[in-house]
Structure 1
């Protein structure tokens, strides 16, 4: 597996969970196999305010992410975006993660977040890669990164400035 597409830019990552994620991901270029490459992506149904913020974010998203060309998921929406094949997928205006929702089975009041260039993300390991969801922002932004792109945290560097510019800090 060739991981030469990695950007040499400096990455600001903090918290023990983020460091553990980087160590585990750095063990190889791929933690698990490829996904099916599908660009099918469910469109979130956010509040009016979150939808406004997500439309602003959509305009700020990069044309390339970690050297991968931007693609249009189906159905096309200002609330979704994708890069590469298999796709790194972004959905804006998603529901609050269950790990952050009191009263749910998966609630964890001690869950760690990873800060990448000023944006805090909740990392969740998947069968193939990771899902990262912003925390402490007025809209939740979810990014799913297949294991092929390990370390999966890297695309967040390219997304941080767009999120900071478009989705202000605050509690949803």
Structure 2
């Protein structure tokens, strides 16, 4: 093979590698920390996972990595659910904001990159983070409240 032929082959291989790298996902939000609740709470989370919808607010289910029955996602990490999380510090704040959606109470924590909601008065905490486009929209919670209500008993 001539020097020109080798150079063309190397350049072609480099172009393929660059193109492949451009197609790979580098979205850090698609990777999350999996909670590690006690066994009883993990069982509730597994039951919740079995009831979660295939789509939320028009987004198809697209679970984050690492794969777990304690986590779920929809719309390329636009909506992420984690079950069995620790009690949020914000629940001790007397000025904390809450919302009720279809019989499920949620603590609202406003963040720069989108709101975070955590269930209250349930046998385990279920956290839902929403992307920035949901700054003033709790719509996705309407698709998640039913499964939470069905599988995670209230403590009231």
Alignment TM-score, normalising by the size of structure 2: 0.78
SS of residue in 2 equivalent to 1:158 = helix
The answer to whether the 8 A contact 1:145-1:152 is kept is no
1:82 aligns to what? 73
Give matches, 1:1-172, under 5 Å: 36=27, 38-100=29-91, 107-170=92-155
| Distance in 1, Cα, partners of 2:28 & 2:36 | 24
Larger radius of gyration: 2
For 2:94, what is the secondary structure of its paired residue?
Answer: coil
**How many angstroms apart in 2 are the aligned matches of 1:37 and 1:44?**
18
The 1-side partners of 2:103 and 2:129 are apart by: 19
- Asked if 2 retains the 8 angstrom alpha-carbon contact of 1:113 and 1:120, the reply is yes
Give the superposition deviation at 1:87: 2.5
Q: Where does structure 2 lack aligned partners over 5 or more consecutive residues?
A: 1-26
Local SS of the residue matching 2:69: coil
**Contact 2:85–2:126 (CA under 8 A) maintained in structure 1:** yes
Figure out how many residues of one structure are paired with residues of the other and give that number.
130
TM-score by length of structure 1 reads: 0.71
Q: CA deviation at 1:41?
A: 1.1
Contact map agreement 1:37 1:86 (CA 8 A) in 2? no
User: What RMSD, in angstroms, separates the aligned Cα atoms of the two structures?
Assistant: 1.5
Closer/same/farther in 2, CA of residues 58 and 86 from structure 1, 3 Å limit: closer
Secondary structure of 1:62 counterpart: coil
